[in-house]
Structure 1
């Protein structure tokens, strides 16, 4: 018995009956020889961490565009926080932590530069629209490793594409990540908004804080405890906590996510991405050979969308300046 087989045996002995077992995965798009050390979901997690799209998350906006200071969330720190919350729940419920972590780490790989403002801009530009969760799946299936993709398991891919809205994931681990994503972004965005001076914590709805708590830690812990208390054979949450959380999220959308002071730079995002999109549609030779091949295979719009959505904030701004902003002429 090798290391992987021993780990799979331990899963069978220790995980809950309704967990997703590594040795029962529905498999990958392309057959591979099993690893002798890592079960399939652990292998998927490792591939996500080492891919290029994961590294780009460190320079992609979470909520606040180009914030001054190092303490604000980026798409990468958001991803890590989601994964931590999800893994805490998975461990307590004796579900598959490797699968949970793989989905959590991969769920936002397809997010655009400039956060949801960038997503909204690309959604207007692309003939077929743009959804970051669909793009995350495309990243792991097609765009990584120069067109080969990461060849992840069906369970991880299913968790990625269902993490935001619509049909829930087929696995309890995927459903946990969807809940953890909501829990993390609302509470961490409150903290960032307070730090940015666009939210007074004293105006948070009292009916929400009375149920969930007054601090970030209290609110996250309350939601985790509620999930643990209402999950047996499937993932659930208490009605009182769920209603309070939804009210708090609505409050954030009304008071922070549309705040003119915090979001004033977002009006420029559509301009930057529109100009870049139109430029590359007529200058596809300015993209790398990989995206040039995509343009021939799947059309220019698809290739340009893939290229722009993969940009970090800084790279998008720098590219815009290189293409559209005149440079001083220096006489030699």
Structure 2
């Protein structure tokens, strides 16, 4: 046996009967020879980690647009927190950590600049709508490296189905879905408190009595509850009490942070910029980079423009807006 085959045998002997085995993957869209060292899910994780789309996440908004400070979450740090939570749960439940990590690292690759604000703009502008989970799948299937990453079916399924709307086919995908929830609810509270939008005493007393008063305590409560409730079961879920408290805490964030708070003070500017960028590139598709001009001819101009804008970082979108719409300085004659 080579190293990969030994790893596959270890999975069979150790993992839960409900875990996804790398040796039983439904495979890739295009055939590839197996690696002699890494399992298919390990290769998928590495491909995502080394992708340009993954690196761009460091300059994409999580909640706060252009925050002043080094400690606010970005889309990249959110992704890493999701991966850490998901791996903890998967390890305890003896699920496939490599598959879990690959899905977690890839789940937000298609997110737009300026967070969900950007997603809303593209959803309004695109005829068939825009959802970041579908764009994440398009990144790994088509856009990255000009041909996609040719990931396994299980990773692609987990990426596409990580949102509330989705229904992942594997338990590893279900773990990422619930870990995404745990991560953003808690780190958005942390960031909102850092920004002075929330004070610790603002959090509903009945909910923090159940979940915990501090950031780490709440995460610990949620993770342990998922593990205990899901152990030995063909599903991933929270207990009714913890789920209800977590859901209500999320609703509290929508009312006090996500909608109408100071965290959204720059939203209208971001929306305006993205709408004008969409208008410009739709009217001037030849000004797109070559790979997107190719998409405009093979699919549609709208598809190419949305792919280009969705891949932008916040900083790059602002720069392109300035280049197109803002007058540049020029030397005056004396």
Q: What residue is the counterpart of 1:127 in the other structure?
A: 127
What is the Cα deviation at residue 167 of structure 1? 3.6
Which residue in 1 is equivalent to 2:254? 253
- Give me the whole-angstrom Cα distance separating, in 2, the residues matched to 1:49 and 1:161: 18
Matches within 5 A, 1:213-228: 213-228=212-227
Aligned length: 331
Offset at residue 236 of structure 1 (A)? 2.0
Specify the alignment match of 2:201 in structure 1.
202
Please state if 1:322 is matched with 2:310: no
> Could you give the per-residue CA deviations for residues 54-91 of structure 1, whole angstroms, max 9, x where no partner exists?
00000000000000010000000000000000000000
2:116 maps to 1:116: yes
Contact persistence 2:197–2:261 (CA under 8 A): no
Structure 2 unpaired stretches of 5+: none
> 2:160–2:166: 8 Å Cα contact kept in structure 1?
no
TM-score, normalised by the number of residues in structure 1? 0.98
C-alpha offsets along residues 205-251 of structure 1, whole Å, 9 cap, x if unaligned?
A: 11111110001111111111111111122212111000000010000
Q: CA deviation at 1:261?
A: 1.8
- Could you tell me how far 1:288 is from its partner in structure 2? 1.1
Q: TM-score, normalised by structure 2?
A: 0.98
Task: Tell me the distance in 2 between the aligned counterparts of 1:165 and 1:260.
Answer: 24
Q: Distance in 2 between matches of 1:32 and 1:202?
A: 55
Task: Quote the RMSD (CA, aligned, Å).
Answer: 0.9
Unaligned ranges ≥5, structure 1: none
Matched, 1:294 2:320: no
Q: Pairwise mapping of residues 1-332 of structure 1 onto structure 2 (< 5 A)?
A: 1-146=1-146, 148-231=147-230, 232-233=232-233, 234-331=235-332
Residue by residue over 1:146-195, the C-alpha shift from the partner in whole angstroms, topping out at 9 and shown as x without a partner, is: 1x100000000000011002241000000000000000000000000000
Contact 1:198 1:259 in 2 (8 A): no
CA contact (8 A) 2:42 2:102 kept: yes
**After TM superposition, where is structure 1 displaced by more than 6 Å over at least 4 residues in a row?**
none
Aligned residue for 2:16, secondary structure, equals coil
Deviation at residue 331 of structure 1 after TM alignment: 4.9
Asked if the contact 2:107–2:136 (Cα under 8 Å) also holds between the matched residues in 1, the reply is: yes
1:27–1:153 Cα contact (<8 Å) kept: yes
